[in-house]
Chain A
Amino acid sequence: MRIKKKNQRFHWFMLLPACLFLVVFLLAPLVMMFVLSFRDVDSMMNTLQSYSLSQYLHVFTTDAYVKAIGSTVWVALQTTVICLLMAYPAAYVLVKAPHPRLRAFFYILLVSPLLTSVVIRTFAWIVLLSQNGLINGMLIDLHLIEKPLSMLWNMNAVIIAYVQVMLPFAVLPIATSLTDMDRHLRPASMSLGAGRIRTFFHVTLPLTIPGMITGAIIVFSLAAGSYITPLLVGGRMQPLLPLSIYQQVMQVYNLPLAAAMSFTLLICVLAVVSLLSYLLKRWEARMHA
């Protein structure tokens, strides 16, 4: 028992530095920002000492910002759904790869983008989609079009780039739940006479729902909170909350408004993530019942 106590003290001591670091450099600034979001500003964007709800009122009464909140959530949802639809066959192929070498190859294709900077991966889409980019060049060479199409600087470009940047985060959890799925369940269902399609909808799909929800949580929160990709392929004017926050901080210098927008964004993301986590728990409880 003495050993156990001594051990515990040692383990608590090891947990301490990371927690302290996060409290000082993550929790403290978030709390400071929360306080800041209730401050007023004067016409020169100086922060005043008084507190009010004016920044939040400003966010929720300005049409452009309300629209930005809606389209941020909408774009993130579209990205999530497209990612899941594309991730499913990719995960299936990864898990069912007949040769370990092929599986390793698929893994490399999946993980290497995650290790490459987002700037670089987004830049590739500029090269592909721009007016004198590859796709336009090929279409003109094939005489399918005469003038280059403008494919950049709109929301579709943002969604395409998002999907490519975030797809691996959706594939990996689905692949994990496909692997974990009892390998005997599928043959069992088929030997009882169910066809492949019925087996898929009644056995495989329900058992991989947790993997899909886990993937959806990651993809949604990344897509709702990024500003680099929309800035580069969508342009500064897209109605997205992260872009408005970036502008308030870097150009308008209205920090309290940026703080209020940040908490609005944080709450939107948390709401969707909590809903998905709740669904995940309910589904798992049902599966194990």
Chain B
Amino acid sequence: MRKKSISDRLLSVLIWTAGSLVYLFLTVPVLVIVLSAFSPNAFPEFPPTSFSVRWFHEVVSNPEWMESLRISVILLLIVTPLTVLLGTMASYALARLSFKGKEAVQAFILSPLMIPQVVLGIAMLYLFTAMGFTGSLWALVIGHVIIGFPYVVRTVGVSVSNLDPRLELASMNLGAGPIRTFFRVTLPLIKPGIIAGGVFSAVTSFGEISISLFVSSPQTITIPVRTFNYIEQTFDPSVNAISVIFIIISIIALLIIEKTIGLSKVM
């Protein structure tokens, strides 16, 4: 190995500085929100002068926020099992089947991630108006499932590709049918991918806005939609407290994903 020259070292320092600055740029907005949420004043200041949980108190004592929280949680509880079911089945089938046009089917299944969100939103709005669904919670459920289940397809795909197909063959050679083999052998082995996908889709549903804004009604305002309305109409600092709740949830989700299939494999 060559001895590092001074210019090489300088280059290293330069790259590391640039890289660290980029991570700082990613993090600053989050820090700002946390700072503002615990500040007693309506407008944030730096450095902070005092500490208060006033905005959290305001959120908890506001029936509108609590109603939205209820709707968002109900939604998440319906959406997550559905995405997990659809996504796991599709992902496993895609891994095991080989046929002409498989790539096209795969692209079709992941397409909700590529279609412009505004187009997806008005397509949903149009469909639900035609079906007479507007304003019902089901419109939100369907929209969130469409957005969320490609993530499950991906994470389960990671787990299936790590799975040795010979284990399934062994089970079937011993006389178990494909269904029994799936539940007894495959499912326990791909559980990490399923859990990670479920967490991903739950968090996605909880934060979804692009479709929700089009298909929600005054009776079904989710937390992100209400947050959007508050930001657009007034400068309400209690949004900061809501944001901190979102950040905490995302960190918990992160830890679960890291424990199950590892962060580096999801994306």
Contacts and interface: CB of A to CB of B under 8 A. Distances in A.
Given A6-B178, A134-B32, A109 B243 contact: no
B224 A119 contact: yes
Given A21-B86, A245-B122, A108 B29 contact: no
B77 interface: no
A29 B124 contact: yes
B33 interface: yes
A115 B89 contact: no
Given A124-B243, A134-B46, A226-B118, 12 more contacts: A11-B92, A32-B127, A87-B22, A110-B23, A111-B254, A112-B30, A112-B250, A115-B253, A168-B267, A225-B119, A228-B213, A231-B232
Contact of B26 (A104, A113, A245, A266): A113
Interface of A: 3, 6-8, 10-12, 14-15, 17-19, 21-22, 25-26, 28-30, 32-33, 36, 86-87, 89-90, 92-94, 104, 106-121, 123-128, 130, 132-134, 137-138, 164, 167-168, 172, 187, 190-191, 195-197, 221-222, 224-228, 231-232, 242, 245-246, 249, 255, 258-259, 262, 265-266, 269, 273
B237 to A, nearest CB: 9
Given A33-B126, A123-B33, A266 B210 contact: no
B211 to A, nearest CB: 11
B145 A21 contact: yes
A262 B118 CA distance: 8
B257 to A, nearest CB: 8
Nearest to B242: A120
A8 B97 contact: yes
Contact of A11 (B15, B97, B203, B227): B97
A200 B195 CA distance: 39
**Which residue, A12, A196, A255, has most C-beta atoms of chain B within 10 A?**
A196
B43 to A, nearest CB: 5
Contact of A167 (B26, B36, B182): B26
